[in-house]
Amino acid sequence: MKYKMYSMFLFLLMSLVAVSQEQSPVKQKKGRWVAYVYAGPNYYFNNVVVGKDLVNEFNYTATFKFMWEPEFRVSLGVETGYYRLYTANGTGQGKLHIVNSATPVHFVAAMNLWKSYYFDLTIGPSFLSNKVHTDSYGDFNGSSVSLADFSGTLSYRFKWKGKFRLGFGPKFFYSSHLNDQSLALVVMAGYKL
């Protein structure tokens, strides 16, 4: 499954580069670097089996993206950030509080689809964190690495006051380790370096 996902990603990346080179006008521009910050609320697609009704599906996402945007329609970069996947609260022999989150370290390929509309695809590992606090038994924290995660963002971006860019759009995240999925509505701010 992981090999198939990586193969699909590489095929898509090569296709995007080929299409962008065919349709790009011939201009003499130097490559440029842009830093982006994305943040917004997200919805977790609840796949928890035990205690499903205790899960709070509405949380937040915040990511940072550093991109190289050359004269072509495809740009490349890296992304990291924080996805709070879900929280859960319960009572019984004491209060229980669970926080499950992911920190991606992903490779990004982005393409300008049409005018100010962009599609970003990321793939790579994510560091998963599960923090459990109970009044009766104390804290239980766990962590793991999910090797084949990805996300996709469809955004509308526009230039604002010189080197600044603003935008918004939906952002989907998938973690293969436990089949976790979330959908966020993010706002974006960028700065051309």
pLDDT at 30: 60
2-192: what CATH class?
Answer: mainly beta
Residues 92-102: what's their mean pLDDT? 89
pLDDT at 5: 57
State yes or no: pLDDT of 120 exceeds 50: yes
pLDDT at 3: 53
CA 83 to chain centre: 8
Question: How much of the chain, in percent, has pLDDT values that exceed 90?
Answer: 65
Where b means 16+ CB within 10 Å and e means fewer, 11-34 reads eebeebbeebeeeeeeeeeeeeeb
Number of CB atoms found within 10 A of residue 109's CB:
21
pLDDT at 53: 87
CA separation (Å) from 169 to 7, 42, 110? 27, 12, 14
User: Which contiguous run of DSSP H or E holds residue 35?
Assistant: strand 32-44
Which of 184, 171, 172, 122 shows the shortest CA–CA distance to 148? 122
Rounded CA separation 51/173 (Å): 23
